[in-house]
Chains A and B, each alone.
Chain A
Amino acid sequence: MLDLYAMREQFSQQQIMLCFNGPISRSLLEEIGNALRNYLAAEHAHPSASMDVFAVYIEMTQNIRHYMTQRDWSEQDASATVVVSRNTEGRYVVSAGNLVEQADGEYLVNSINALTGLDKAELKGLYKEQLRRPRGQASTTGAGLGLIDIARKSSEPLQASLRPAEAGRAFFSLRAVI
């Protein structure tokens, strides 16, 4: 039987503010985003910090939805696992994961790892370069604008990982500390 109390304890211990697992529609993504903003406001998060957390949540989840659309996966396959929590230093942590084709996952992890060695000025340069790329070419070369934006808003290097999952696919996950 599902032990709700144990789940609750675990959520509290890990300071999880919000978590979601399942198919993510556009309207659900917006509603969860709205809830996130309300929680942040209730915690009296600074408007800038609050906006960064919200921005990272939006970029991560929209990236997942764009991927599903590109791959032409069904709404049921468009599942995401999203967690917003705080770490022991009180910083907000946004994590999101989804199923990907193995090769796509490897490409993503490599693109993200390539960003981790860059300082803020280098990230800004790369961001502006990506912004200037003609529409349509943006997602085929290096890390997309969304990932660079997430890296710029993070106080620590992004952590990306890939694990084998069902049906020959892999589970990709990304963690950003704001």
Chain B
Amino acid sequence: MIDLHIPATQSTPKIHTEHAQGRLVMQGDSYPENSYELFNQVFEWIEGFLAEQPPRALNLELHLLYLNTSSIKAMMEIFDLLQAAHDRQHPVKVSWFYDARNERVAELAEEFKEDCSFPFDILAIARSAP
């Protein structure tokens, strides 16, 4: 399975996967006009990983900040994939880290979490001013 190493751009996040560790990391802002051009390859990677036998745990580490509504829709579809995996006893987990000064990011993560029953941590990190 080929890992993703997508560098960040002004309007898209850095996306990085580690198949061996069962880890997917996304970091930054996401507001492309068409989020599916970017996220389709992420859906494919996750679907591929979750279809493997024997099943291994998948951890998403998110350091996402601003998401436009197109990206929010794509993220919801990612969480739907994880929810379906969780429903068939496949271990999945999301850890969403945010800057403690920006509660908007926590609220955004919280709205996603409402619709998920798998482990979903929203973690404030104290960060010095840029």
Please count how many residues in chain A sit with their CB below 8 Å of the partner chain's CB atoms: 24
Q: Mark A48-75, 1 if CB is under 8 A from B, else 0.
A: 1001101100110010011000000000
B76 nearest CB across to chain A (Å): 6
A145, CB-defined interface residue at 8 Å: yes
Contact A30–B11 (Cβ < 8 Å): yes
Contact A54–B66 (Cβ < 8 Å): yes
Q: When the two chains form the complex, which single residue of B36, B66, B76, B105 contacts A131, counting CB atoms closer than 8 Å?
A: B76
Given A58-B31, A135-B73, do A48 and B68 touch, yes or no (CB 8 Å)?
no
Q: When the two chains form the complex, which single residue of B10, B76, B99, B115 contacts A47, counting CB atoms closer than 8 Å?
A: B99
A146, CB-defined interface residue at 8 Å: yes
Q: How many A-B contacts if CB must be within 8 Å? A: 48
B128, CB-defined interface residue at 8 Å: no
Pull 12 A–B residue pairs with CB atoms less than 8 Å apart, ordered by A. Answer: A47-B101, A51-B65, A51-B102, A51-B104, A52-B104, A59-B69, A131-B72, A131-B73, A131-B76, A135-B36, A135-B73, A145-B72
Q: Mark B87-130, 1 if CB is under 8 A from A, else 0.
A: 00000000000010111110000010001000000000000000
* Complex alpha-carbon distance, A149 and B101, angstroms: 22
A155, CB-defined interface residue at 8 Å: no
